[in-house]
Structure 1
C-alpha cells in the first residue's frame, strides 16, 4: 500500500516534468527564431566581409531573373538547396515577388519550400531517427509522447507552419526526429500558404532585387499585422495542442504502469 501511494504521488510529478519539457522545447525554438530573425545580426555579417548568404541569394535571384522562362526551375532548385543547407529562405520568398509576381512567385516558393522541407525531413529521419529511437526505447514516457505526436502529426505540422515563431529550416529536421509520418508532414505543409503569399506580396512591393533584405524595403502595414495575428494565434494553438497531446500521452503511460 505504501509503495502504491508513493508511486501514485510521483505520477503527477512525472506528468509535470513532461509538460515542462515540452514548454522548454517550444521556448528554445522561439529563442532560435529571435536570434536568426534579428536584422542587426545580418547587417553585422554583411559588414564584416565574411560569408553573407543574403548577398549570395540576392545574386542568385538576379541570375534567375536573366534566365527567362527556365528561371522558375532554377529558382525551385535553389530554394530546395537553401532549405536543406539552413540558408535564409525569406530572401528567396521576397525575391520571388519581384522576379515572378505574386501568383507565380507564391506557387514556385511553395513548391520549392515543400520539396526542400521534405528533403530535410528525410535527412533528419534516416540519419538520426534510429539513434533517437534507441535513446527513448527504455523510456516509456518519451516513447508515449513521440507516438502521440506521430498520431497527431498533421495537425501539429499544420499549426507550426502557420506560425512564424517556429524556425522553418530547424523545424524541417526536427520533425524528422519525431514519429510524424511523411504523409502527414507533407500534407501539413499547406500551412505555409498564407505566410508564403503574404511575404511574396511584400517582396513584389519592392520592385527591385537590390532592396530585398534591406532596411529600406517597402512594407504593407495591413499585411504585416495580418502575419503577426495569424502567427500569434497559430503559436498559442500549437503550444496548447502539443502540451495537451503530451499530457494525454503521459497520463496513458502512467495508467499502464499502475495496472
Structure 2
C-alpha cells in the first residue's frame, strides 16, 4: 500500500515538474523574443565562414531538442547557403537533431511510459503497428504539417519503431526543407527575413502546395495506422 502511494506521488511529482518546465520555456521564449535571438545567431553564423556550417548544425540540433521551432533557422539556412547547400545542411541538421531527441525519448521515457500503459490494449496495438511498418509511418508523418516536428521526435522515441526506419523515414522532411530553404534564399536582407518571406508571392504558392501534400499525407498516415492497428489489436485480443 505504501509502495503504491509512493509510486503515485512520484508520478504526480513528474507531471507537476514537467508542467512547470513547459511553462518556464514558454515564458522564456516570450520574454527573450526567440526570433530576435535566432536572428542574431544567424548573423553570427554568417560571420564565421566555413566554421559557421558546423555551428549552424549544432545550434539546429539544440533547437530541435529544446522544442524551439526550426522554421526560422531553416529560412536562415537558405539565406546563408542558397538552395542546394542550404537544403543539405538543414536536412543533415534536422535529421541529427530529430535522432538525438528520439534517443532521449527512447532511453529516458520509454520504460516509464511502457509501465504506465502496458495494460492499454489500444496503445499496444498502435505501438505494434508502428513497429511493424515504421518506415512508412514515419515517412508519411514527416510529410504532414499537422504533426509538430519537435514533439513527434519524442513521441516516436517512446514507440518500438526501429532506429533505422526512423532515420530513413526522415526523407519525408525533404519537401518542406527545400521549400523553406528556397524561400529563405529569396531574402535580400537577413535582418528582415520573416517580413520578406511573408510578403513573397512565391511563398504563398509554395506554402499552399505544401499544405496540399501535407493534407494528403495526414489522411494517408491516419488510415494506414488505423488499418494496421486494427489487425494488431485482433492479434493481441486473440492471444
C-alpha separation in 2, matches of 1:103 and 1:160: 24
C-alpha separation in 2, matches of 1:63 and 1:95: 11
**Alignment match, 2:96:** 115
User: Which region of structure 1 is more displaced relative to structure 2, 160-169 or 219-228?
Assistant: 219-228
**Alignment match, 2:220:** 237
Q: 1:178 aligned to 2:159? A: yes
Runs of 4+ in structure 1 off by over 4 angstroms are none
Shift of 1:233: 0.9
Shift of 1:254: 2.6
C-alpha separation in 2, matches of 1:65 and 1:178: 38
C-alpha separation in 2, matches of 1:218 and 1:145: 41
**Alignment match, 2:187:** 206
C-alpha separation in 2, matches of 1:141 and 1:98: 45
**Alignment match, 2:5:** none
The answer to whether the Cα contact below 8 Å between 2:77 and 2:90 also exists between their aligned partners in 1 is: yes
C-alpha separation in 2, matches of 1:198 and 1:139: 40
Within the candidate set 146, 151, 164, 2:132 is matched to: 151
RMSD of equivalent CA atoms = 1.9
Within the candidate set 23, 29, 33, 1:52 is matched to: 33
The answer to whether the Cα contact below 8 Å between 2:61 and 2:96 also exists between their aligned partners in 1 is: yes
3-state SS in 2 of match to 1:206: coil
Query: Normalised by the size of structure 1, how large is the TM-score?
Result: 0.76
1:90 and 1:251, CA in 2 relative to 1: closer, same or farther beyond 3 A?
Answer: same
3-state SS in 2 of match to 1:78: helix
Query: Normalised by the size of structure 2, how large is the TM-score?
Result: 0.82
Within the candidate set 44, 57, 61, 1:63 is matched to: 44
3-state SS in 2 of match to 1:212: helix
Aligned residues: 211
3-state SS in 2 of match to 1:68: coil
For each residue in 1:35-79, what CA deviation from the matched residue of structure 2 results, as whole angstroms up to 9, or x when unmatched? xxxxxxx9xx99x7x122111111100001111122111111110
Shift of 1:146: 1.3
Which of the pair has more CA radius of gyration?
Answer: 1
The answer to whether the Cα contact below 8 Å between 1:114 and 1:189 also exists between their aligned partners in 2 is: yes
Q: Which runs of 5+ in 2 are unaligned?
A: 1-25
List aligned pairs for 1:74-89, cutoff 5 A.
Answer: 74-89=55-70
**Alignment match, 1:218:** 200
The answer to whether the Cα contact below 8 Å between 1:54 and 1:88 also exists between their aligned partners in 2 is: no
The answer to whether the Cα contact below 8 Å between 2:128 and 2:229 also exists between their aligned partners in 1 is: no
Shift of 1:207: 2.2
Q: 1:99 aligned to 2:80? A: yes
**Alignment match, 2:175:** 194
3-state SS in 2 of match to 1:100: helix
